[in-house]
């Protein structure tokens, strides 16, 4: 309308089927492809200036977690009054450093997204999102601690959970390379099996010949989180075979764990314990 359009022009285009109105005062070209990003942009337009994609929707946009709810999740200024069942709405005043833009969509930064996620997802899901963000270098432990230092747990749900998660981290430990690896690490760590090492480098004469996702060096037992990596190409497949052969030649045994195996965590622990007993007592 700033460019000279009138209400009657808009109405004629809607009646002619050229435009569609997915929300009050929001229009799109009829027949345009639907997408999750379009839904997020519509939500931001519908709620006006100061609206930002946040929480689970922001995590999905940053590709650090899967969005479980079909409803876009947004944050709006505290004083804004409106209700709409189409969206999950959070009222919070964000600082300039908390917000950015992705493909023209206003969204919370990865660091702020991790902090916000703590109030709406389980601790396990939060840990997986954190690992994703660290692995893709969207944030760092230092940056998260710095941002948390400016927040208080009082009146802000989830801040304490993030702090506890960071305090339990070993800064020198490698970040898991996949969500499958994060889930497997959780199972192994909760079993409190002695001697567990993550991202263990196996060397011969000072050269690294292989790196195991998880290892019990004393028993020469490696545990691999096998997703669908071998489908990524012949080169990766050959590298994976060479690495496994190198481990076998050095007397290591390998337990492979897939996504399907995660449904029976006790079965994984039992397999590892049997392999450990066999390895530790071999002559």
Asked if residue 117 lies in contact with residue 109, where contact means CB atoms within 8 angstroms, the answer is no
Read off φ and ψ for residue 21, nearest 5 degrees: -120, 95
- End-to-end C-alpha distance for the chain, whole angstroms: 84
pLDDT at 20: 94
Residues 144/114, Cβ–Cβ less than 8 Å: yes
What pLDDT, on the 0 to 100 scale, is given for residue 188? 92
CA distances from 47 to 23, 99, 197 (A): 10, 16, 49
Does residue 2 belong to any structural domain of this protein? no
pLDDT in tens, 4-32: 999 999 999 999 999 999 988 899 999 99
CATH code at position 232:
3.40.960.10
Total number of domains constituting the chain = 2
pLDDT for the residue numbered 24: 82
Per residue in 40-53, pLDDT (tens digit) is 999 999 888 999 99
Residues of the chain with pLDDT under 50: 154-155, 229-232, 283
Q: What is the pLDDT of residue 68?
A: 62
Are residue 149 and residue 209 in the same domain, yes or no?
A: no
Quick check: 113 and 91 in contact, CB under 8 A?
no
For residue 192, tell me if it sits in a domain: yes
Residue 4: is it exposed, middle or buried by C-beta count within 10 angstroms (0-12/13-18/19+)? exposed
Query: What was the pLDDT predicted at 229?
Result: 47
Rounded CA gap, 276 and 270, in Å? 10
Does residue 174 form part of some domain?
no
139 and 44 both lie in a single domain = yes
CB neighbour list of residue 149: distance below 8 Å, 6 or more residues apart: none
pTM: 0.74
Structural domain that includes position 200: 179-280
**The pairing of beta strand 221-225 with beta strand 105-108:** unpaired
Please, what is the average pLDDT of the chain?
85
**Contact criterion met (CB below 8 Å) for 225 and 270:** no
CA 15 to chain centre: 43
pLDDT 10s digits, 115-150:
999 999 998 899 889 989 998 999 999 999 998 887
Return the pLDDT at 281.
54
What pLDDT score does 169 carry? 77
Is 37 within the bounds of a domain?
A: yes
Expressed in percent and rounded to 5, the helix, strand and coil fractions of the chain are 45, 20, 35
């Amino acid at each position: 309308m700033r460019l000279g359009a009138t209400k009657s022009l808009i109405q004629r285009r809607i009646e002619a089927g050229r435009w569609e109105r997915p929300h009050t005062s929001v229009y799109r070209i009829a027949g345009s492809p639907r997408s999750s990003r379009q839904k997020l942009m519509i939500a931001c337009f519908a709620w006006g200036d100061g609206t930002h994609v946040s929480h689970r929707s922001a995590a999905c946009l940053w590709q650090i977690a899967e969005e479980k709810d079909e409803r876009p999740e947004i944050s709006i200024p505290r004083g804004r009054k409106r209700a709409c069942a189409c969206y999950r709405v959070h009222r919070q005043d964000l600082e300039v450093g908390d917000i950015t833009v992705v493909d023209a969509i206003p969204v919370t930064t990865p660091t702020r997204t991790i902090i916000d996620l703590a109030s709406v997802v389980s601790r396990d899901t939060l840990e997986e999102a954190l690992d994703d963000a660290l692995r893709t270098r969207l944030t760092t432990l230092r940056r998260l601690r710095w941002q948390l230092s400016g927040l208080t747990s009082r009146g802000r749900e989830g801040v304490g959970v993030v702090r506890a998660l960071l305090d339990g981290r070993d800064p020198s430990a490698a970040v898991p390379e996949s969500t499958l690896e994060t889930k497997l690490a959780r199972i192994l760590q909760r079993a409190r099996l002695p001697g567990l090492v993550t991202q263990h480098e196996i060397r011969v004469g000072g050269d690294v010949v292989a790196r195991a996702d998880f290892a019990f060096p004393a028993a020469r037992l490696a545990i691999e989180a096998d997703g669908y990596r071998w489908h990524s190409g012949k080169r990766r497949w050959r590298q994976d075979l060479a690495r496994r052969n190198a481990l076998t030649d050095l007397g290591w045994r390998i337990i492979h764990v897939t996504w399907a195996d995660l449904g029976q965590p006790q079965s994984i622990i039992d397999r590892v314990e049997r392999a450990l007993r066999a390895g530790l007592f071999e002559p």
